[in-house]
Copies of this chain bind each other. A is one copy, B any other.
Amino acid sequence: MDRTVGRLWFHFSAVYLITAYICSLLYYEYDYISSKRIDYFCSSKPLFHQFTILVRAIPASAGRNISDSVENFFTEYHPSTYLAHTVVHRTSKLRGLINDAKTHYRRLVRLQSNPSQINSNRGSCFGLFRRKVDLVDRYGKRLGDIEQHLRLEQSQVSSAGKEVPAAFVSFKSRYGAAIAMHMQQSNNPIHWVTEQAPEPHDVYWPFFSSTFMQRWISKLGVAVACFLLTALFFIPVLIVQGLTNLNQLQIWFPFLKSILTITFISQILTGYLPSLILQLFLKMVPPVMECLSSIQGYISLSDIKKSACFKVLWFTIWNVFFATVFSGTALLQLSLVFEPKTIPTRLAVAVPAQASFFIAYVVTSGWTSSLSELINLFALISSLVTKPFSGNSDEELEVPSIPYHQDIPRILFFVLLGITYFFLAPLIVPFLLVYFGLEYIVYRNQFINVYAPKYETGGKFWPIAHSCIVFSLVLMHAIAVGIFTLKGLPLASSLLVPLPILTLLFNDYCRKRFLPNFSAYSAETLIKKDRADENDPTMAEFLDKLVTAYADPALMPVSFTATADSLRRPLMSTAED
């Protein structure tokens, strides 16, 4: 008994030491990334988004359109730094038309690009050749019609109404843009709301919610939807899993009866089918969360990914960690929130019991996921399936970007497992080390050889990782407090209580010390950078380009019919998906 107590005190000091060690690592990492951010900014060429802000909720004024209002406002209040602006337009219809035109154009190209096929068929089957020529004509004509319609619509959209009360406003200097961004512009704080503009190709044009109320309501709606999805996710999963037991399958698919009676197959089915269903449901979560984030009023793809990453992370922690630990229904878990006092002891009972499950999880889910990342299973299958049907698909090959919102939560979840289980089941540590080693190798390769970054993240995902690790630490402390209470060491558990408080204070300090650098740059940096550019002869040219940098691609002039002849060029120089 005395030895057990001794071992518990050993665990106690391990908890303190590991917390201190992880916190110091977190501190240096935050410091490193935040200084990297500044270094990157200082060494960057002039970029459009550094000189531009997005202004939303531009108030309507009588007898004046949005563009005039913006022009007036900024020439009035920022005369020395204001450069130009681009009002956002409602272009969902245009985007539909452009996609339509694109599809037709692609078909046309495919038909025209196979002249050999047409030639070879000429002799053998005249009727088929006739049909092809007809098709080329028909598609060509329809493409012309659509283009006509598109141009008409474009001129209507850009001249008449359909202005969204939002605009990209560009400035002559980075500091000028930053001043306009940081200062409250109008007496009504929910008008002329400013924020940093994203890179031009990072702008998410489709859902451009503009007024304050729209954004507020959509944010609330999305928060409720996320909460419900996270809390009630397990109900449909459990129902579907319940439906797939052997008897049910035999009733639904009577012809399987003979196969299902084979012990080996029935064992595999009962063993893996529920887990397969769970994995499929879980695979659906990141896209769903991304979709929810996209209607939340973010203006850039990168912000949408970041928000989705956060949502997926908490979803994973709740639905994989807590659901497994308490192995109960969602409603039972929710009741936990209403009795915070009992959380440590409940955790202390439930968490150690699942240690072997999570060790197995590291192997089955962790190792396999990093290997499947390497062969990109989904992309491979979908490519194999679609390639034979899509003709000359090598032209359309798009380099994939990194699915941050899918990978970061998974890796962070394994960090959480490591932190919570290292003293309960130290056996998990080597498995995790192997996992992280694998991930390191795999992602090094993926970053260098496979993925092409679509936008510069600027280290903005780190605060999510930081807060997740701090949460893991506090969770680990709660479990430790519960365990020491259960094992009859109330002194140890009371001595542990300061630890989560200190950790949260550490987190608060880090937020104040580093987080501001992740949302904006300091006056010092901006002014230095602006001064360095003053003597740059290319700046005049850059500012000329900046004026039109934030034009909506849907409003650009299009000419598919003209390019339809020159086939080997890139598909569209004007529109992007």
Instruction: Decide if A391 is an interface residue (CB 8 Å cutoff).
Output: no
> Whole-angstrom distance between the alpha carbons of A187 and B341 in the complex?
42
Instruction: Decide if A434 is an interface residue (CB 8 Å cutoff).
Output: no
A517 proximity list for chain B (CB < 8 A): 184, 187, 189
Instruction: Decide if A520 is an interface residue (CB 8 Å cutoff).
Output: yes
Instruction: Decide if A436 is an interface residue (CB 8 Å cutoff).
Output: no
Q: List 12 A-B contacts (CB under 8 A).
A: A179-B179, A180-B523, A182-B182, A183-B522, A184-B516, A186-B523, A189-B512, A189-B522, A190-B513, A220-B505, A338-B339, A339-B341
Q: Say whether A183 contacts B523, CB under 8 Å.
A: yes
Taking Cβ atoms with an 8 Å cutoff, the residues of A that contact B are: 38, 76-77, 178-180, 182-190, 212, 216, 220, 338-341, 505, 509, 512-517, 520-525, 527
User: With A220-B505, A339-B338, A512-B216 as given contacts, are A38 and B187 in contact (CB-CB < 8 Å)?
Assistant: yes
Q: Say whether B179 contacts A512, CB under 8 Å.
A: no
18 further A-B contacts with Cβ under 8 Å, apart from A38-B187, A184-B516, A212-B512, are A76-B527, A179-B182, A180-B523, A182-B182, A184-B520, A184-B521, A184-B522, A185-B522, A185-B524, A187-B522, A188-B513, A189-B517, A190-B512, A190-B513, A220-B505, A338-B339, A339-B339, A340-B340
Per DSSP, chain A at the interface is helix
Closest to A512 in B: B190
CB proximity of A77 to chain B, nearest CB, Å: 5
Q: Say whether A522 contacts B338, CB under 8 Å.
A: no
User: With A77-B527, A220-B505, A512-B216 as given contacts, are A522 and B340 in contact (CB-CB < 8 Å)?
Assistant: no
User: With A178-B183, A183-B182 as given contacts, are A189 and B77 in contact (CB-CB < 8 Å)?
Assistant: no
Closest to A511 in B: B189
Q: Say whether A509 contacts B77, CB under 8 Å.
A: no
User: With A183-B179, A338-B341 as given contacts, are A189 and B505 in contact (CB-CB < 8 Å)?
Assistant: no
CB proximity of A525 to chain B, nearest CB, Å: 6
CB proximity of A215 to chain B, nearest CB, Å: 10
A190 proximity list for chain B (CB < 8 A): 512-513
> Whole-angstrom distance between the alpha carbons of A443 and B575 in the complex?
67
Q: Say whether A522 contacts B186, CB under 8 Å.
A: yes
A339 proximity list for chain B (CB < 8 A): 338-339, 341
A515 proximity list for chain B (CB < 8 A): 189
Closest to A79 in B: B527
A527 proximity list for chain B (CB < 8 A): 76-77
Q: Say whether B513 contacts A186, CB under 8 Å.
A: no
Closest to A80 in B: B80
